[in-house]
Amino acid sequence: MSVSTKRNILGILIDDANLETATEIVIDAARRRAPLSVSAMAVHGVMEGVLDPEHRYRLNHLDLAVADGQPVRWALNHLHSAGLRQRVYGPNLTLAVLARAEQEGLPVYFFGSTRDVLELLCGNLQQKFPKLQIAGTAASVFGRMSADSAEEVRDQIRQSGAQIVFVGIGCPRQEVWAYEFRERLQLPILAVGAAFPFLAGTLRQAPMWMQDRGLEWLFRLGTEPRRLWRRYLKLSPAYLFLLVCQLMGFRFHTDGIKPKRELLYG
């Protein structure tokens, strides 16, 4: 089985896996129906863990956290000589896993976003992967769920026959979901950010030249300024400052604080 090594970026453990390795790890777990929590991490995701020790604990107990954002990939390469030539972009990871799922007959489940987006997403994916088995979908549940509701979600997914679950409910909730549902589902869970609306065609992606140069944030800020201004105008400069501190030898601890309660239900 493909393996990766976890590297410390500002106290957050990021795997040095490339797209092929990450895909193989997910597919191997799906074949074995084994629990696996995965997140595609951009700067926003890293900084949520830096600022919140409980969330840092969650992130550092995910099985696989890959470099979704170019600045995260650059940090892995500069700090740890990871040699990653490309980032593991959430939509690309989603498509790579789906292609393998189609080949191997592994049913998939999509949790998150809205019913309209899910309908468009599934329509597009069935055109691209005609033999893909979509076991089910469920729109996002906002706020905390009751314990009974959480168990209903678990039962619905498990009874669908799905062997891979994709979660698109936004950072940091989707990482919390992957952490809290890992043992309940006993299946691979992939937190893939904006992959759902991107692949559904309801949200435009940045041009490739902007993605390659780490300027995707500027494109997204221009398209969703009211929702994303804090993320990009406050957290991104803080990330760069702290990264310089780590490059200069400042140590960032990875311990975090074990959460006293689960956030999504109870």
* pLDDT tens per residue across span 160-182: 999 999 999 988 999 999 999 99
pLDDT of the residue at 1: 61
pLDDT of the residue at 164: 98
Phi then psi for residue 166, to 5 deg, are -105, 135
Under 8 Å between Cβ of 250 and 168: no
Q: Could you give the CA distance from residue 131 to residue 129 in angstroms, rounded to a whole number? A: 6
Please give the residue range of the domain that contains residue 56. Answer: 6-139+147-195
139-159 pLDDT, tens digit each: 987 667 777 788 899 999 999
pTM here is 0.92
Q: What percent of the chain has pLDDT over 90?
A: 76
Q: Is 259 among the domain residues?
A: no
Q: Is 157 among the domain residues?
A: yes
In the predicted model, what is the mean pLDDT of the chain?
91
pLDDT of the residue at 143: 67
Q: What percent of the chain has pLDDT over 70?
A: 95
Of the candidate ranges 67-71, 149-153, 181-185, 212-216, the one whose mean pLDDT is the lowest: 212-216
Q: Is 186 among the domain residues?
A: yes
What total number of domains does the chain contain? 1
Q: Is 264 among the domain residues?
A: no
Q: Is 69 among the domain residues?
A: yes
189-213 pLDDT, tens digit each: 999 988 999 999 997 777 788 777 7
Q: Is 50 among the domain residues?
A: yes
pLDDT of the residue at 95: 98
Q: Is 240 among the domain residues?
A: no
3-state SS, 228-260, equals HHHHHHHHHHHHHHHHHHHHCCCCCCCCCCCCC
Q: Is 177 among the domain residues?
A: yes
Of the candidate ranges 46-50, 55-59, 187-191, 256-260, the one whose mean pLDDT is the lowest: 256-260
pLDDT band at 265 (very low <50, low <70, confident <90, very high): low
pLDDT of the residue at 96: 98
Q: Could you give the CA distance from residue 176 to residue 191 in angstroms, rounded to a whole number? A: 9
Phi then psi for residue 172, to 5 deg, are -95, 5
Largest Cα–Cα distance in the chain? 51
pLDDT of the residue at 66: 98
Flag whether pLDDT at 266 surpasses 60: no
